[in-house]
A and B are shown apart, each in its own frame.
Chain A
């Protein structure tokens, strides 16, 4: 026991220090809310305190948070949520009948007819049934069993839960999990926390970030030397890259997973965010079943969805679900046991998810408004996706693949050697150096590509396409000017 006497008061070493804490936690990184964002928040504070800057506001284009950027919630959804929160409003004539009906159905499924009661750990039953029906409609009639649906606290919760189940073994038998590079850094963070082995497979930037089976095979074979690869994760539409995989690609991935005996994890939270002509969302579940029983009876898969993206953008509600296919019944029992410890996902988020999968129908009063709002949001996003790609591609030194879907652009940036050297001097990764400069000079907060992974010697940044169109144009212009200035400065 170390102890120093200072002012007569004993200052003993703390129980919990950097050296005596969980080592896995130290390995966790999450760039989307990492150091650059912390600096952005600091700058916001300074602005508020009156410090003079070359800009009047910080634009947080680092995180896929639509409402924070001014996107409006869907009126119908919020009406139902208000009715569920305060059922006295069911008497209020201002609310449309279809909203009241949805609210009543949800409340009847809650303990004591209150959203304040715990739900079952798997999630409110009638909501899981509605989710199953939604999946069936989406997938052209392929059956979905509500028992395979697990509601979750955002998609992140379910993804971490499944990864947790899969991790076992020691040393060379340790579970390896294949993830795309670039990836959404929840995956690398979860693998670090769980002490699983991260297996990187590279998306092909020269081919619009497409996925090559040869690359999957290369990664897998290399990995078998030092771990036990058991899982393959894919994000479609992609984050940060925005690519929407072709149907053929999805079939190939499924075939690969079957051949190599891998558990498939399909992160499909951007399934409604598809913009590019010729692109279409194909759910892994649908393709799996269309490949026939040899696949649909054997391939183990979990698909994830969320209320945070698409046209709803309801990040704060932490709503989500996963559908599990061909999960071993004994493992299912373990899964239910595991989720029971945290009791249940937030009920307001479950209610919201119910509305997402069971929105106003053509014969209902709220339909027209709903469709109008939904269409407006999605078409605006499509416009901004195009605008972003267009403008970035006019900048020498910035190369932007088409933003086929999702909510981000992940352009490649050319950094002058002098800038790379300067970054190294400062102990910074080059694209972090670039993004920090952009933040300090223009108040625009992006996330450096190093936070998502990229091929060595390449640099990128991820920017959301979420600011309102007018503001986005200004942001794109400022980035263009910054890039030219930066390139000039370090030439």
Chain B
């Protein structure tokens, strides 16, 4: 029992022992020295200060909600208080939040969620039969037939079965075992959990984790917090952000000198870069992971967000199995999905899952145990995930509207992806790779030497300096490339393609004008 310490009774307090303890000095007892402040009043340092807090937490950064966003929120406040600005609103193009930018939820999903929340509505004739039958099925799997009950820590059984069936359909019949499915609080939760399991060792045996540069900064944040070693591999900007095995090899070889590389993370479709990896590339990565004995983590939350002609989403699971048993039975893989992106955009529900392939059984038990401490993922998010993997089928009453809404959202995104690339590439000093998928553009910007100098003097990254200026002058909030990582001497920003098309056009124009102004100012 882990409570061995707790099982031992404490020694009965004895008079003289107690006195002895009291005689210990304040320092010996670990108490801080009293401080005399300016006005002669004694004060004590707090228990929890920047110097006495968890040092790994201090190393954590998350640019997507970092300093530039805090400034944007401040500006919004100032605007609402009536302060005059060169713009009427702040546009938060920093975060992949579709609904916040006006995208509408899928009607069917929200109907089912309403029915699950308030089952009285099951007798309401305004709800279609297929929504009611989905709701009934979900409720029957909940304790006391209520979404308010905890679920099993791995997630509601019938939902995991539906996820497994979805994966099988998606992957052309490649088998999926529901026992390998873990529902999570957004994909971030699953990713952090897996990284936590993987981290061990000290010094040169400390776990190293390979991540793409540029990356979605959840990865660097999690690695910082866990005290794992971050191993950067650079995506090839000249080749549409593709992944080169030679670069992977370079990164892992170098890393072996100072850590123990054990995991390889890949985001496909990519964030912030939007590239959709070719099937060949995915095969090569799997082969590389097998050869170098790396646990593969495939972040596939944008799997429905594929726009460019000639591009197609290939799941790592599918490719792995199509490579035959030599790989399918040995490579350890975790794939992640979420309800936050694709055509649903339901970020606030924190729904997600991971599929784990070839995990050691004893480690699986440890994983189940670890998840049990937090009880379960939010049940509304689990219910929503069930609908995402089990949407209306042809022949069902809601099918027509569902497909219409889904198609409208995805085609609008495809249009905006093209538009963004197009407009940004007309700007001298901005170079934008095709937005093949996901929800972002990550164009390269040329920053004049004078501006780089001024930024450096201010102690700011040059692209942060650029983005801050853009925010103050136009109200547009982007995230500087330095928040995601980039090759030395290059600068970028990440902008979402989510604002409604008309607004996006205006946005792109303002970015264009700003860039020209900025370049002029610092020429």
Binding site for B on A (CB under 8 A): 1, 9-12, 14-18, 20-23, 25-30, 32-34, 41, 63, 65-73, 78-79, 81-83, 85-86, 89, 92, 94, 110-112, 114-121, 153-154, 156-157, 164-168, 181, 186, 188-190, 192-193, 198, 200, 202, 214-215, 217-219, 221-222, 224, 228-231, 260-263, 298, 300, 312-318, 326-328, 330-331, 334, 337-338, 340-349, 429, 450-451, 453-457
Is B99 a contact of A33 with CB atoms below 8 Å? no
Task: Assess A112 versus B54: contact at CB under 8 Å? Given A17-B360, A186-B373.
Answer: no
- Note all chain B residues with C-beta closer than 8 A to A32: 372
Task: Assess A111 versus B100: contact at CB under 8 Å? Given A68-B149, A164-B54, A192-B2.
Answer: yes
A-B contact pairs, 17 of them (CB 8 A): A14-B363, A18-B360, A18-B362, A21-B198, A73-B148, A111-B100, A120-B73, A222-B10, A224-B28, A316-B378, A317-B379, A331-B46, A331-B53, A342-B185, A346-B380, A450-B1, A454-B6
The answer, yes or no, to whether B169 is at the interface (CB within 8 Å) is no
Task: Assess A20 versus B117: contact at CB under 8 Å? Given A34-B372, A300-B47.
Answer: no
- Note all chain B residues with C-beta closer than 8 A to A119: 348
Is A315 a contact of B346 with CB atoms below 8 Å? no
Is B105 a contact of A116 with CB atoms below 8 Å? yes
By Cβ-Cβ distance, the 9 closest A-B pairs, closest first, are A68-B143, A111-B100, A316-B379, A347-B348, A453-B6, A86-B114, A82-B118, A33-B372, A340-B65
Give the B interface residue count (CB, 8 A): 117
Cα(A228)–Cα(B99), bound, Å: 47
Task: Assess A85 versus B110: contact at CB under 8 Å? Given A16-B359, A68-B143, A117-B100.
Answer: yes
Closest to A324 in B: B48
Closest to B61 in A: A337
Is A317 a contact of B366 with CB atoms below 8 Å? no
Cα(A263)–Cα(B344), bound, Å: 42
User: Which stretch in B303-311, B326-334, B429-437 binds the other chain?
Assistant: B326-334
Cα(A193)–Cα(B188), bound, Å: 19
- How distant is A426 from chain B, measured CB to nearest CB, in Å? 14
Cα(A228)–Cα(B345), bound, Å: 46
Task: Assess A30 versus B369: contact at CB under 8 Å? Given A67-B143, A337-B60.
Answer: yes
Is A228 a contact of B2 with CB atoms below 8 Å? no
- Note all chain A residues with C-beta closer than 8 A to B8: 456
Task: Assess A16 versus B198: contact at CB under 8 Å? Given A116-B349, A156-B375.
Answer: yes
- Note all chain A residues with C-beta closer than 8 A to B5: 198, 200
- Note all chain A residues with C-beta closer than 8 A to B73: 120
- Note all chain B residues with C-beta closer than 8 A to A181: 6
Is A349 a contact of B378 with CB atoms below 8 Å? yes
- Note all chain B residues with C-beta closer than 8 A to A222: 10
Is A82 a contact of B366 with CB atoms below 8 Å? no
- Note all chain B residues with C-beta closer than 8 A to A12: 293, 330
User: Which stretch in B29-37, B174-182, B507-515 binds the other chain?
Assistant: B29-37
- Note all chain A residues with C-beta closer than 8 A to B366: 18, 21, 25-26
Is B149 a contact of A315 with CB atoms below 8 Å? yes
Is A10 a contact of B9 with CB atoms below 8 Å? no
Task: Assess A14 versus B332: contact at CB under 8 Å? Given A166-B48, A168-B55, A316-B150.
Answer: yes
